[in-house]
Amino acid sequence: MIPAGFEYHRPGDIASAIGILQQHGDEARVIAGGHSLIPMMKLRMAEMGHLVDLQAIDELKGIEVGADTVSLGAMVTQHELITHDGLASAIPLIREAALQIADPQVRYMGTVGGNVANGDPGNDMPGLMQCLNATFDLSGPDGNRSVAARDFYEAAYFTARDDEEILTRISIPVPGAGVGQAYEKQKRKIGDYATAAAAVMVGNGQASVAMTNLADTPIWSDAASAALAAGNVDACVAAMLDAIDPVEDNRGPVEFKKHVAAVMLRRAIARAQSRAS
């Protein structure tokens, strides 16, 4: 399986990368870890004349853990998310979810930026970032802007990011002390995408609930979150089942997916509640 040919670029800063995207328009595409894009290219489902590798851009790297906010560079790998002690203390939910993504080799290469920017409904980080109320920083020809994770996803592989923009960093508010967090994922085997996955935060009278791979975008539900904040688990699950829109595929029929969604959500809620104080 050989992809179609392309010219390779490895710019050293964001401005140069954007310049290449501007110059080549929709003939150019950025590559981060490549573990979503390269398989697509091998299947000839993605072709581009110019591939812009972001690996040499230092501005896209690094994990910064502040008192109120965590900043993740788009090129931070899943492996780095898992092995960063400060991040695991500040927002343990991220490590818990990252450990359930793909397999070790893929996690060394796969990046958080690629995972959230690709717009694949199967990816775990978009739902997680919606649960955490993260903000995505974008840089483009017209400057910088930020888009809330909860507003970013439009349809499968369609997001608020313009073609000539690069997702540079992710900002995440650090949940207050006493907030319990949990990520539950049902998958057919290690490395698989979720049949259903739930990200839950609960505590201090607040809650946030998002689910993965049960619609053509991640689903964060205001109604489900409000119900859980009020302590009503049944109403939370009912509201989420109302919000999701799974389709039948090789992971099962719609009824099964809704069943699994409810099981995952209840497990995540129970575990998050057990961790709240």
Partner 1 sequence: MSKMHVKLTVNGKQVEGLAEPRTLLIHFLREDLKITGPHIGCETSHCGACTVDIDGKSVKSCTTFVAQVNGADVTTVEGLTNDDGSLGVLQEMFREHHGLQCGFCTPGMITRAHRLLQENPNPSEEDIRFGMAGNLCRCTGYQNIVKAISASADMLNAQNQPSSREAVGQTKVEAAE
Binding positions for partner 1, rule: CB under 8 A = 1-8, 10, 31, 34-35, 38-39, 41-42, 51, 53, 55, 79, 102-106, 108-109, 190-191
Q: Are 130 and 218 in contact (CB under 8 A)?
A: yes
Residue 101 CB, shortest distance to partner 1, in Å, is 11
Whole-number minimum distance, CB 9 to partner 1, in Å?
Answer: 9
Taking the least distance from each CB to partner 1, the nearer of 16 and 55 is: 55
Closest CB to partner 1 among residues 124, 229: 124
DSSP 77: B
> Cβ of residue 83: shortest distance to partner 1, in angstroms?
8
Smallest gap from residue 56 Cβ to partner 1 (A) = 10
**Closer Cβ to partner 1, 110 or 175, answer by number:** 110
2 or 177, CB closer to partner 1? Answer: 2
* Residue where the block lists tokens 């205001």: 222
Q: Report, in Å, the least distance between residue 190 CB and partner 1.
A: 4
Q: Which two tokens stand for residue 177?
A: 């002390």
Q: Alpha carbon of 191 to those of 30, 62, 123, 187, 248: distances in Å?
A: 24, 25, 11, 8, 20
Distance CA 194, CA 56 (A): 32
Which CB, 5 or 178, lies closer to partner 1? 5
What string of DSSP letters covers 145-203?
Answer: EEEEHHHHEEETTEES--TT-EEEEEEEEPPPTT-EEEEEEE-SSTTPPPSEEEEEEEE
